[in-house]
Structure 1
Protein backbone atom coordinates (compact mmCIF):
# COMPACT_ATOMS: atom_id res chain seq x y z
CA UNK A 1 0.00 0.00 0.00
CA UNK A 2 1.34 3.43 -0.96
CA UNK A 3 1.68 5.70 2.06
CA UNK A 4 0.98 9.45 1.96
CA UNK A 5 3.98 11.75 1.58
CA UNK A 6 3.51 13.14 5.10
CA UNK A 7 3.98 9.64 6.54
CA UNK A 8 7.32 9.33 4.75
CA UNK A 9 8.30 12.81 5.98
CA UNK A 10 7.41 11.95 9.57
CA UNK A 11 9.37 8.70 9.46
CA UNK A 12 12.41 10.43 7.94
CA UNK A 13 12.36 13.26 10.48
CA UNK A 14 12.19 10.98 13.49
CA UNK A 15 14.78 8.64 12.06
CA UNK A 16 17.12 11.63 11.86
CA UNK A 17 16.54 12.91 15.41
CA UNK A 18 16.01 9.62 17.26
CA UNK A 19 19.14 9.49 19.42
CA UNK A 20 19.16 13.19 20.33
CA UNK A 21 15.41 13.23 20.93
CA UNK A 22 15.72 10.31 23.34
CA UNK A 23 18.53 11.96 25.28
CA UNK A 24 16.85 15.36 25.53
CA UNK A 25 13.50 13.98 26.75
CA UNK A 26 14.85 11.11 28.84
CA UNK A 27 13.86 12.62 32.21
CA UNK A 28 11.18 15.06 31.05
CA UNK A 29 8.38 13.43 33.05
CA UNK A 30 10.25 14.32 36.25
CA UNK A 31 9.34 17.97 35.64
CA UNK A 32 5.76 17.40 34.42
CA UNK A 33 3.40 16.72 37.36
CA UNK A 34 0.26 17.11 35.23
CA UNK A 35 1.58 14.61 32.69
CA UNK A 36 2.32 12.11 35.45
CA UNK A 37 -1.13 12.70 36.94
CA UNK A 38 -2.92 11.93 33.68
CA UNK A 39 -0.80 8.85 33.02
CA UNK A 40 -1.33 7.71 36.61
CA UNK A 41 -5.09 8.14 36.37
CA UNK A 42 -5.13 6.21 33.09
CA UNK A 43 -3.06 3.40 34.64
CA UNK A 44 -5.29 3.19 37.70
CA UNK A 45 -8.47 3.00 35.64
CA UNK A 46 -7.07 0.41 33.23
CA UNK A 47 -5.74 -1.68 36.11
CA UNK A 48 -9.00 -1.42 38.05
CA UNK A 49 -10.95 -2.66 35.05
CA UNK A 50 -8.68 -5.66 34.57
CA UNK A 51 -8.61 -4.91 30.86
CA UNK A 52 -5.12 -6.10 30.05
CA UNK A 53 -2.52 -4.94 27.56
CA UNK A 54 -1.84 -1.29 26.74
CA UNK A 55 -0.35 -0.02 23.47
CA UNK A 56 1.74 3.16 23.41
CA UNK A 57 1.11 4.31 19.84
CA UNK A 58 3.82 6.58 18.47
CA UNK A 59 6.05 5.54 21.36
CA UNK A 60 9.25 7.16 20.11
CA UNK A 61 12.19 6.08 22.31
CA UNK A 62 9.86 4.31 24.72
CA UNK A 63 9.91 6.65 27.72
CA UNK A 64 6.12 6.66 28.13
CA UNK A 65 5.97 2.90 27.55
CA UNK A 66 8.51 2.44 30.33
CA UNK A 67 6.57 4.75 32.63
CA UNK A 68 3.37 2.79 32.02
CA UNK A 69 5.28 -0.39 32.79
CA UNK A 70 6.50 1.16 36.06
CA UNK A 71 2.85 1.83 36.95
CA UNK A 72 2.10 -1.88 36.66
CA UNK A 73 0.65 -2.04 33.16
CA UNK A 74 1.50 -4.63 30.51
CA UNK A 75 2.60 -2.02 27.99
CA UNK A 76 4.27 -2.24 24.59
CA UNK A 77 5.18 0.39 22.01
CA UNK A 78 4.58 0.96 18.30
CA UNK A 79 6.31 3.65 16.27
CA UNK A 80 6.54 4.65 12.62
CA UNK A 81 10.31 5.25 12.82
CA UNK A 82 12.61 2.20 12.81
CA UNK A 83 15.38 4.30 14.36
CA UNK A 84 13.09 5.26 17.25
CA UNK A 85 12.16 1.60 17.70
CA UNK A 86 15.86 0.69 17.78
CA UNK A 87 16.55 3.30 20.47
CA UNK A 88 13.55 2.12 22.49
CA UNK A 89 14.71 -1.50 22.37
CA UNK A 90 18.22 -0.47 23.42
CA UNK A 91 17.08 1.76 26.29
CA UNK A 92 14.32 -0.59 27.53
CA UNK A 93 15.40 -4.15 26.68
CA UNK A 94 12.76 -5.71 28.89
CA UNK A 95 9.87 -4.20 26.93
CA UNK A 96 8.39 -4.88 23.50
CA UNK A 97 8.57 -2.37 20.64
CA UNK A 98 7.41 -2.74 17.05
CA UNK A 99 7.46 -0.68 13.88
CA UNK A 100 4.01 0.26 12.61
CA UNK A 101 1.53 2.95 11.62
CA UNK A 102 -1.33 4.22 13.78
CA UNK A 103 -3.44 4.39 10.62
CA UNK A 104 -3.16 0.63 10.04
CA UNK A 105 -2.40 -1.16 13.30
CA UNK A 106 -1.44 -4.80 12.95
CA UNK A 107 -3.52 -5.72 15.98
CA UNK A 108 -6.64 -7.84 16.23
CA UNK A 109 -10.01 -6.32 17.02
CA UNK A 110 -10.80 -5.75 20.69
CA UNK A 111 -7.46 -6.91 22.08
CA UNK A 112 -6.30 -3.83 24.03
CA UNK A 113 -7.31 -2.64 27.47
CA UNK A 114 -5.85 0.77 26.72
CA UNK A 115 -4.23 2.96 24.09
CA UNK A 116 -1.93 5.92 24.76
CA UNK A 117 -1.13 8.37 21.95
CA UNK A 118 1.24 10.80 23.65
CA UNK A 119 1.84 13.73 21.27
CA UNK A 120 1.77 11.27 18.39
CA UNK A 121 -1.38 12.36 16.53
CA UNK A 122 0.12 15.80 15.89
CA UNK A 123 1.76 14.89 12.56
CA UNK A 124 -1.35 13.36 11.01
CA UNK A 125 -3.34 15.84 8.89
CA UNK A 126 -6.61 16.53 10.75
CA UNK A 127 -8.66 15.24 7.81
CA UNK A 128 -7.23 11.74 8.46
CA UNK A 129 -7.73 11.71 12.22
CA UNK A 130 -11.17 10.03 11.96
CA UNK A 131 -9.41 7.00 10.48
CA UNK A 132 -6.84 7.00 13.28
CA UNK A 133 -9.53 7.14 15.95
CA UNK A 134 -11.46 4.37 14.19
CA UNK A 135 -8.32 2.20 14.48
CA UNK A 136 -8.05 2.98 18.18
CA UNK A 137 -11.73 2.07 18.64
CA UNK A 138 -11.31 -1.15 16.65
CA UNK A 139 -8.39 -2.41 18.70
CA UNK A 140 -9.81 -1.49 22.12
CA UNK A 141 -11.89 -3.90 24.16
CA UNK A 142 -15.30 -2.82 25.33
CA UNK A 143 -14.64 -0.54 28.29
CA UNK A 144 -11.06 0.10 27.13
CA UNK A 145 -9.47 3.51 27.61
CA UNK A 146 -7.71 5.97 25.30
CA UNK A 147 -5.40 8.73 26.53
CA UNK A 148 -4.38 11.50 24.11
CA UNK A 149 -1.90 14.32 24.64
CA UNK A 150 -1.38 17.11 22.11
CA UNK A 151 -0.74 20.83 21.75
CA UNK A 152 -3.95 22.84 21.79
CA UNK A 153 -4.66 25.31 18.99
CA UNK A 154 -5.98 25.37 15.45
CA UNK A 155 -3.03 26.09 13.20
CA UNK A 156 -0.39 23.98 11.44
CA UNK A 157 3.33 24.52 11.94
CA UNK A 158 6.23 23.55 9.73
CA UNK A 159 9.45 22.42 11.38
CA UNK A 160 12.70 22.67 9.45
CA UNK A 161 15.05 22.27 12.42
CA UNK A 162 14.60 20.32 15.65
CA UNK A 163 16.71 18.41 18.18
CA UNK A 164 19.88 19.56 16.45
CA UNK A 165 18.90 18.34 12.98
CA UNK A 166 17.49 19.78 9.77
CA UNK A 167 14.12 18.18 9.10
CA UNK A 168 11.03 18.70 6.94
CA UNK A 169 7.99 18.04 9.11
CA UNK A 170 4.49 19.40 9.61
CA UNK A 171 2.88 19.50 13.06
CA UNK A 172 -0.70 20.37 13.92
CA UNK A 173 -2.02 22.11 16.98
CA UNK A 174 -5.52 20.80 17.58
CA UNK A 175 -8.66 22.22 19.24
CA UNK A 176 -9.70 19.92 22.12
CA UNK A 177 -13.40 20.41 21.46
CA UNK A 178 -12.99 19.26 17.85
CA UNK A 179 -10.96 16.21 18.90
CA UNK A 180 -13.69 15.39 21.42
CA UNK A 181 -16.25 15.48 18.57
CA UNK A 182 -14.11 13.23 16.36
CA UNK A 183 -13.65 10.74 19.19
CA UNK A 184 -17.41 10.61 19.74
CA UNK A 185 -17.97 10.03 16.03
CA UNK A 186 -15.55 7.10 16.29
CA UNK A 187 -17.52 5.65 19.20
CA UNK A 188 -15.23 6.86 22.00
CA UNK A 189 -16.66 8.95 24.85
CA UNK A 190 -14.46 11.52 26.61
CA UNK A 191 -14.63 11.07 30.39
CA UNK A 192 -11.99 13.59 31.49
CA UNK A 193 -9.94 16.39 30.04
CA UNK A 194 -7.14 18.69 31.14
CA UNK A 195 -5.98 21.89 29.49
CA UNK A 196 -2.89 23.42 31.03
CA UNK A 197 -0.77 26.47 30.34
CA UNK A 198 2.68 26.13 28.71
CA UNK A 199 5.41 25.34 31.22
CA UNK A 200 7.61 28.30 30.28
CA UNK A 201 10.51 26.14 29.07
CA UNK A 202 10.02 24.73 25.57
CA UNK A 203 6.24 24.91 25.27
CA UNK A 204 4.64 27.84 23.48
CA UNK A 205 0.98 26.87 23.62
CA UNK A 206 -1.50 25.16 25.91
CA UNK A 207 -1.24 21.41 26.32
CA UNK A 208 -4.35 19.23 26.09
CA UNK A 209 -5.09 15.77 27.50
CA UNK A 210 -8.23 13.75 26.78
CA UNK A 211 -9.22 10.49 28.45
CA UNK A 212 -11.89 8.57 26.51
CA UNK A 213 -13.55 5.19 26.83
CA UNK A 214 -14.99 2.68 24.40
CA UNK A 215 -18.44 2.01 25.87
CA UNK A 216 -19.39 -1.49 26.88
CA UNK A 217 -22.09 -2.87 24.64
CA UNK A 218 -25.21 -3.99 26.38
CA UNK A 219 -26.07 -7.65 25.74
CA UNK A 220 -28.84 -8.16 23.27
CA UNK A 221 -31.94 -9.59 24.90
CA UNK A 222 -33.40 -12.59 23.21
CA UNK A 223 -37.12 -12.34 22.53
CA UNK A 224 -39.26 -14.24 25.00
CA UNK A 225 -40.59 -17.52 23.77
CA UNK A 226 -44.11 -18.64 24.43
Structure 2
Protein backbone atom coordinates (compact mmCIF):
# COMPACT_ATOMS: atom_id res chain seq x y z
CA UNK A 1 0.00 0.00 0.00
CA UNK A 2 1.38 3.39 -1.02
CA UNK A 3 1.95 5.86 1.81
CA UNK A 4 0.12 9.21 1.41
CA UNK A 5 2.36 12.12 0.41
CA UNK A 6 2.99 15.02 2.84
CA UNK A 7 0.73 17.11 0.62
CA UNK A 8 -2.07 14.57 0.98
CA UNK A 9 -1.71 14.33 4.77
CA UNK A 10 -1.66 18.13 5.10
CA UNK A 11 -4.81 18.45 2.99
CA UNK A 12 -6.56 15.70 4.93
CA UNK A 13 -5.60 17.20 8.29
CA UNK A 14 -6.97 20.61 7.38
CA UNK A 15 -10.13 19.12 5.92
CA UNK A 16 -10.63 17.44 9.29
CA UNK A 17 -10.10 20.54 11.44
CA UNK A 18 -11.55 23.21 9.12
CA UNK A 19 -14.79 24.01 10.95
CA UNK A 20 -13.26 24.05 14.45
CA UNK A 21 -10.16 25.91 13.24
CA UNK A 22 -12.35 28.70 11.87
CA UNK A 23 -14.27 29.04 15.15
CA UNK A 24 -11.24 28.88 17.44
CA UNK A 25 -9.23 31.44 15.43
CA UNK A 26 -12.09 33.71 14.41
CA UNK A 27 -10.89 36.61 16.61
CA UNK A 28 -7.19 35.76 16.55
CA UNK A 29 -6.16 39.02 14.86
CA UNK A 30 -8.11 41.29 17.20
CA UNK A 31 -5.22 42.00 19.59
CA UNK A 32 -2.15 41.75 17.35
CA UNK A 33 -1.06 45.32 16.57
CA UNK A 34 2.24 44.42 14.92
CA UNK A 35 0.70 41.79 12.65
CA UNK A 36 -2.07 44.18 11.63
CA UNK A 37 0.45 46.97 11.04
CA UNK A 38 2.26 44.80 8.47
CA UNK A 39 -1.02 43.99 6.72
CA UNK A 40 -1.87 47.70 6.64
CA UNK A 41 1.56 48.58 5.21
CA UNK A 42 1.15 45.86 2.57
CA UNK A 43 -2.29 47.20 1.60
CA UNK A 44 -0.95 50.76 1.39
CA UNK A 45 1.90 49.72 -0.92
CA UNK A 46 -0.39 47.74 -3.22
CA UNK A 47 -2.95 50.56 -3.37
CA UNK A 48 -0.45 53.37 -3.97
CA UNK A 49 1.26 51.20 -6.58
CA UNK A 50 -1.89 51.24 -8.69
CA UNK A 51 -3.89 48.42 -7.12
CA UNK A 52 -4.99 45.20 -8.74
CA UNK A 53 -5.81 41.65 -7.68
CA UNK A 54 -4.28 40.33 -4.48
CA UNK A 55 -4.04 36.61 -3.73
CA UNK A 56 -4.20 35.27 -0.19
CA UNK A 57 -2.20 32.11 -0.87
CA UNK A 58 -2.98 29.39 1.65
CA UNK A 59 -5.99 31.37 2.85
CA UNK A 60 -7.49 28.76 5.19
CA UNK A 61 -11.00 29.82 6.30
CA UNK A 62 -10.57 33.28 4.77
CA UNK A 63 -10.35 35.49 7.85
CA UNK A 64 -7.24 37.34 6.64
CA UNK A 65 -8.63 37.54 3.09
CA UNK A 66 -11.51 39.48 4.63
CA UNK A 67 -9.05 41.79 6.42
CA UNK A 68 -7.40 42.54 3.07
CA UNK A 69 -10.81 43.36 1.59
CA UNK A 70 -11.57 45.67 4.51
CA UNK A 71 -8.24 47.41 3.85
CA UNK A 72 -9.49 48.25 0.38
CA UNK A 73 -7.84 45.49 -1.65
CA UNK A 74 -9.37 43.35 -4.38
CA UNK A 75 -8.57 40.13 -2.55
CA UNK A 76 -9.29 36.47 -3.22
CA UNK A 77 -8.14 33.25 -1.55
CA UNK A 78 -6.56 29.98 -2.64
CA UNK A 79 -6.07 26.96 -0.39
CA UNK A 80 -5.06 23.32 -0.71
CA UNK A 81 -7.88 22.12 1.54
CA UNK A 82 -11.41 21.74 0.09
CA UNK A 83 -12.71 21.78 3.67
CA UNK A 84 -11.12 25.15 4.36
CA UNK A 85 -12.41 26.56 1.07
CA UNK A 86 -15.95 25.39 1.92
CA UNK A 87 -15.80 27.19 5.29
CA UNK A 88 -14.37 30.35 3.67
CA UNK A 89 -17.11 30.46 1.04
CA UNK A 90 -19.83 30.02 3.65
CA UNK A 91 -18.35 32.61 6.01
CA UNK A 92 -17.46 35.24 3.40
CA UNK A 93 -19.89 34.79 0.48
CA UNK A 94 -18.83 38.10 -1.07
CA UNK A 95 -15.25 36.93 -1.62
CA UNK A 96 -13.80 34.53 -4.18
CA UNK A 97 -12.07 31.35 -3.00
CA UNK A 98 -10.63 28.45 -4.97
CA UNK A 99 -8.78 25.20 -4.33
CA UNK A 100 -5.18 25.11 -5.48
CA UNK A 101 -1.56 24.34 -4.69
CA UNK A 102 0.97 27.11 -4.10
CA UNK A 103 3.54 25.19 -6.16
CA UNK A 104 1.36 25.36 -9.31
CA UNK A 105 -1.00 28.32 -9.06
CA UNK A 106 -3.71 28.57 -11.72
CA UNK A 107 -2.74 32.20 -12.34
CA UNK A 108 -1.16 33.89 -15.33
CA UNK A 109 2.37 35.25 -15.19
CA UNK A 110 2.47 38.74 -13.69
CA UNK A 111 -1.27 38.76 -12.93
CA UNK A 112 -1.17 39.82 -9.26
CA UNK A 113 -0.49 43.22 -7.72
CA UNK A 114 0.08 41.55 -4.37
CA UNK A 115 0.39 38.16 -2.70
CA UNK A 116 -0.07 37.29 0.97
CA UNK A 117 1.56 34.16 2.40
CA UNK A 118 0.29 34.25 5.99
CA UNK A 119 1.83 31.28 7.83
CA UNK A 120 0.86 29.09 4.87
CA UNK A 121 4.38 27.67 4.42
CA UNK A 122 4.66 26.32 7.96
CA UNK A 123 4.37 22.73 6.70
CA UNK A 124 7.07 23.16 4.06
CA UNK A 125 10.63 21.88 4.68
CA UNK A 126 13.13 24.77 4.38
CA UNK A 127 14.91 23.19 1.43
CA UNK A 128 11.65 23.28 -0.56
CA UNK A 129 10.95 26.99 0.00
CA UNK A 130 12.71 28.15 -3.22
CA UNK A 131 10.12 26.25 -5.29
CA UNK A 132 7.33 28.25 -3.68
CA UNK A 133 9.22 31.54 -3.90
CA UNK A 134 9.77 31.03 -7.63
CA UNK A 135 6.03 30.51 -8.14
CA UNK A 136 5.17 33.64 -6.13
CA UNK A 137 7.65 35.61 -8.23
CA UNK A 138 6.07 34.25 -11.43
CA UNK A 139 2.51 35.35 -10.62
CA UNK A 140 3.41 38.81 -9.31
CA UNK A 141 3.56 41.74 -11.70
CA UNK A 142 6.74 43.84 -11.72
CA UNK A 143 6.38 46.24 -8.80
CA UNK A 144 4.04 43.80 -7.05
CA UNK A 145 4.38 43.14 -3.33
CA UNK A 146 4.63 39.95 -1.29
CA UNK A 147 3.96 39.77 2.45
CA UNK A 148 5.03 36.60 4.26
CA UNK A 149 4.52 35.59 7.90
CA UNK A 150 6.24 32.63 9.55
CA UNK A 151 7.40 31.14 12.84
CA UNK A 152 11.02 31.78 13.83
CA UNK A 153 13.38 28.92 14.70
CA UNK A 154 15.32 26.07 13.15
CA UNK A 155 13.35 22.98 14.02
CA UNK A 156 10.35 20.89 12.99
CA UNK A 157 7.57 19.97 15.42
CA UNK A 158 5.21 17.05 14.70
CA UNK A 159 1.55 17.71 15.56
CA UNK A 160 -0.69 14.71 16.11
CA UNK A 161 -3.48 16.60 17.88
CA UNK A 162 -4.74 20.07 16.91
CA UNK A 163 -8.02 21.99 17.18
CA UNK A 164 -9.64 19.04 18.91
CA UNK A 165 -8.77 16.47 16.24
CA UNK A 166 -6.15 13.89 15.35
CA UNK A 167 -3.86 15.23 12.60
CA UNK A 168 -0.53 14.50 10.94
CA UNK A 169 1.28 17.79 10.49
CA UNK A 170 4.94 18.77 10.52
CA UNK A 171 5.32 22.41 11.57
CA UNK A 172 8.55 24.09 10.48
CA UNK A 173 10.20 27.16 11.97
CA UNK A 174 12.53 29.19 9.77
CA UNK A 175 15.66 31.29 10.32
CA UNK A 176 14.89 34.83 9.06
CA UNK A 177 18.31 35.45 7.49
CA UNK A 178 18.08 32.17 5.56
CA UNK A 179 14.58 33.03 4.33
CA UNK A 180 15.73 36.51 3.25
CA UNK A 181 18.61 34.98 1.29
CA UNK A 182 16.26 32.59 -0.54
CA UNK A 183 13.84 35.41 -1.37
CA UNK A 184 16.62 37.54 -2.83
CA UNK A 185 17.82 34.59 -4.93
CA UNK A 186 14.23 34.17 -6.17
CA UNK A 187 14.31 37.75 -7.47
CA UNK A 188 12.66 39.70 -4.66
CA UNK A 189 13.92 42.77 -2.85
CA UNK A 190 13.22 42.78 0.89
CA UNK A 191 11.65 46.10 1.91
CA UNK A 192 10.93 45.47 5.60
CA UNK A 193 11.48 42.79 8.22
CA UNK A 194 9.71 42.59 11.57
CA UNK A 195 10.42 39.95 14.20
CA UNK A 196 8.29 40.15 17.33
CA UNK A 197 8.36 38.08 20.48
CA UNK A 198 5.92 35.25 21.15
CA UNK A 199 2.48 36.47 22.19
CA UNK A 200 -0.35 34.73 24.05
CA UNK A 201 -0.30 31.02 23.11
CA UNK A 202 2.64 31.25 20.70
CA UNK A 203 5.81 29.29 21.45
CA UNK A 204 8.27 31.12 19.21
CA UNK A 205 8.96 34.62 17.90
CA UNK A 206 7.07 35.51 14.73
CA UNK A 207 8.54 37.04 11.56
CA UNK A 208 6.96 39.24 8.88
CA UNK A 209 8.74 39.99 5.60
CA UNK A 210 7.52 42.58 3.10
CA UNK A 211 9.05 42.20 -0.38
CA UNK A 212 8.71 43.69 -3.82
CA UNK A 213 9.31 42.18 -7.27
CA UNK A 214 11.53 44.85 -8.83
CA UNK A 215 10.46 46.56 -12.03
CA UNK A 216 12.45 45.62 -15.09
CA UNK A 217 15.14 48.14 -15.99
Q: TM-score range by the shorter chain?
A: over 0.9
Task: Tell me the distance in 1 between the aligned counterparts of 2:9 and 2:208.
Answer: 26
Which residue is equivalent to 2:83?
A: 83
Task: Tell me the distance in 1 between the aligned counterparts of 2:188 and 2:124.
Answer: 19
**CA offset digits 1:158-207 (Å, max 9, x no partner):** 000000001111010001111100100100111001000001x2101000
Which residue is equivalent to 1:205?
A: 204
Instruction: Indicate conservation of the 8 Å contact 2:51/2:73, yes or no.
Output: no
Counterparts in 2 of 1:28-39, with a 5 A limit? Answer: 28-39=28-39
Counterparts in 2 of 1:39-118, with a 5 A limit? Answer: 39-118=39-118
- Superposition RMSD in Å: 0.8
CA-CA distance at 1:9 after TM superposition? 1.1
**CA offset digits 1:104-140 (Å, max 9, x no partner):** 1010000000000000011112121101000000000
Instruction: Indicate conservation of the 8 Å contact 2:196/2:205, yes or no.
Output: yes
CA-CA distance at 1:42 after TM superposition? 0.2
Instruction: Indicate conservation of the 8 Å contact 1:51/1:141, yes or no.
Output: no
Which residue is equivalent to 2:5?
A: 5
Structure 2, unpaired ranges of 5+:
none
Q: Which entry has the higher C-alpha Rg, 1 or 2?
A: 1
TM-score norm. by structure 2 comes to: 0.97
Which residue is equivalent to 1:172?
A: 172
Aligned positions, number = 214
1:143 aligns with 2:143: yes
- After TM superposition, the runs of 4+ consecutive aligned structure 1 residues lying more than 4 A away are none
TM-score norm. by structure 1 comes to: 0.93
Task: Tell me the distance in 2 between the aligned counterparts of 1:49 and 1:129.
Answer: 27
Which residue is equivalent to 1:223?
A: none
